[in-house]
Amino acid sequence: MIDESNRTALASPRGDILVADDVELVRSLVVRFLARTGYNSLPVANGAEAVALYRRRQDEVLLVILDVEMPVMGGLEALSALREINPAVKAIIMSGTYSGEEVRREVRSGEVAFIRKPFTFAAFNDTVLTVLAE
């Protein structure tokens, strides 16, 4: 949980948040959640699009949110490619099923945050603010 004294400063947008999910409904929900706290979203439909957009706009991107399972390029593969561009990239991976040893390993490493779908605005917002505070 994030300290309440830091919440206001973190909720003040200073960049964009890249959102990659192949399900339009989920992507739209995440964009709406981010807009509620004033963040601009850069929504894309798969990991390959996320990597291409990040490569062009990495200086503007505060955080990348990736679905684990997407066509073309999944979230973990995209995360690996993003780390080649910027080893310090801040990321959240999300999934409806917390499956696969690779996902567990990433989360245990502390290098990435995880949020299980479906999620509430409060849980999503807390995860975003926690990652941005790190």
Contact by Cβ (8 Å): 85, 63: no
Q: Mean per-residue pLDDT for 68-87? A: 94
Query: Where is average pLDDT lowest: 73-82, 107-116, 118-127?
Result: 107-116
Residue 80 or 14, more confident = 80
Rounded Cα distance between 128 and 70, Å, is 21
Q: What is the DSSP letter of 60?
A: T
| Strand, helix or coil for residue 114 | strand
| CATH code of 38's domain | 3.40.50.2300
Highest mean pLDDT among 6-15, 33-42, 89-98: 33-42
pTM summary value: 0.87
User: Domain of 68?
Assistant: 4-133
Write down the mean pLDDT value for the chain: 87
Rounded Cα distance between 56 and 42, Å, is 12
The predicted pLDDT at position 18 comes to 98
DSSP 6-22: HHHHHTS--SEEEEE-S
